Amino acid sequence: MAEVELPVGGKAALSHQGLQALIEALVARGYRVLGPTVRDRAIIYDEIATIDDLPAGWTDRQDAGTYRLERRADKALFGYAVGPQSWKRFLHPPVEQLWQARREGNGFAITGPEKIASKFAFLGVRACELHAIAIQDRVFTQGPYHDTSYQQRRQDNFIVAVNCGEAGGTCFCVSMNAGPKADTGFDLALTELLDGDRHSFLVEVGSVLGGEALAALPHRPATPDESAAADAVVAHTARRMGRQLDTNGIKELLQDNPDHARWDDVAARCLTCANCTMVCPTCFCTTVEDHTDLAGQTAERVRRWDSCFTLDFSYIHGGSVRKENRSRYRQWMTHKLASWIDQFGTSGCVGCGRCITWCPVGIDITVEAAAIRASARGSREAEHGGT
Ligand code: SF4
Ligand code: SF4
């Protein structure tokens, strides 16, 4: 195959082995390559060395409170939707040391957090996840205070997106304008093309860095048929979304209904387990803990993911502000879909569906929003003499 350098927006065809060459090229450039792999009967993100580490021939079946891996009839490498983890796990880790103090003589030596040793290459980033990363970029790096740890982890990333060929049962990225096609925020974007025994990828260049990386790989110009086939893959996925969310006026809808009876209804089902916030790719709240060892030689301060579903999260001088399940669920959903817009200029939800799949009692943000909309609209119609 001839090597053809491509500009941003250019498209090329890459073979199955070309993808292996991409992984090797990223490792050679000093990246720690992270991608999807199967572990504990789920697709998780971890270090990968070859395409053999990818979840070939697996798909996921998802519904409210349900996640199952199943075998596919083909050998698709990216034939699943999203698993329980997001890239937040690497950019904003669940537990992170802020500093450590070690006893030395009559005093202490303080050391800061460890430097991030390697730069990340993320392989298999979905469109909704690109939007989630952009949201966390805004939260951590574009406000008045910058999170230096996130900035360090985020700099020099190489992102290989994958356009979705399967919509998960709980996905609603189309409603949130966040997928299923990667539109921005990637270096290269792949669409997996399977046609009988032929297995290849259409690659779109998203950055100069991506174009340079692709130029060093065996590739050829994409044919019009391959471009059309890739468009058909994402169009097919968009038509098969598992869920929908009507976002029309949703900020006003939720902010105008803090006493809606549906908050009591959902509170009766919610376990306040915080699963929904742990799996959400945009949730960013943390708490700070101090630990000392039993011998009194070292002490450390760590930052740990926290959640608006815990009682302690809203604890201030003598009590928690949000004592009831109702107020905690309302806080989470209203923040995601409404006050996040006031705070950061976008919705806090990208429609990945993880909070629905991983809720142990199957609470569904799209169903809760629709229920509030249905009765709020009914009451407005009643006020205006409607039926
Ligand atoms: S909505 Fe579901 S996942 Fe979230 S806290 Fe309640 S029970 Fe847990
Ligand atoms: S609120 Fe739910 S659907 Fe929306 S981004 Fe978070 S986990 Fe995904």
pLDDT for 9 beyond 60 = yes
pLDDT of residue 117: 78
pLDDT band at 386 (very low <50, low <70, confident <90, very high): very low
pLDDT of residue 2: 46
pLDDT band at 382 (very low <50, low <70, confident <90, very high): very low
CB-ligand 1 contact for 158 (6 Å cutoff): no
Per-residue model confidence as pLDDT tens digits over 359-380: 999 999 999 999 999 998 544 4
pLDDT of residue 378: 45
Ligand 2 atom closest to the CA of 350, numbered from 1: 5
pLDDT band at 3 (very low <50, low <70, confident <90, very high): low
CB-ligand 2 contact for 351 (6 Å cutoff): yes
pLDDT of residue 380: 45
Question: Please, are residues 347 and 131 in contact by the beta-carbon 8 Å criterion?
Answer: no
Task: Say what the pTM is.
Answer: 0.94
Mean predicted confidence (pLDDT) in 22-26: 98
pLDDT of residue 241: 97
CB-ligand 1 contact for 359 (6 Å cutoff): yes
pLDDT band at 115 (very low <50, low <70, confident <90, very high): confident
Per-residue model confidence as pLDDT tens digits over 64-110: 999 999 999 999 999 999 999 999 999 999 999 999 999 999 999 99
pLDDT for 114 beyond 70 = yes
Ligand 2 atom closest to the CA of 176, numbered from 1: 4
CB-ligand 1 contact for 363 (6 Å cutoff): yes
pLDDT for 113 beyond 70 = yes
Rounded to the nearest integer, the mean pLDDT of the chain is: 94
Any idea which of 127-131, 294-298, 360-364 has the lowest mean pLDDT?
Answer: 294-298
What distance in angstroms lies between residue 233's CA and the mean position of ligand 1's atoms? 33
Give the residue, out of 266, 269, 273, with the most ligand 1 atoms within 8 A of its beta carbon, to mutate for a pocket test: 273
pLDDT of residue 385: 36
Per-residue model confidence as pLDDT tens digits over 140-167: 999 899 999 999 999 999 999 999 999 9
CB-ligand 2 contact for 352 (6 Å cutoff): yes
Percent of the chain with pLDDT over 70: 96
Per-residue model confidence as pLDDT tens digits over 297-355: 999 999 999 999 999 999 998 899 999 999 999 999 999 999 999 999 999 999 999 99
Residues 52, 31: Cα–Cα separation, whole Å: 18
Whether the bond between 180 and the residue before it is cis, its omega within 30 degrees of 0, is yes
Per-residue model confidence as pLDDT tens digits over 100-112: 999 999 999 999 8
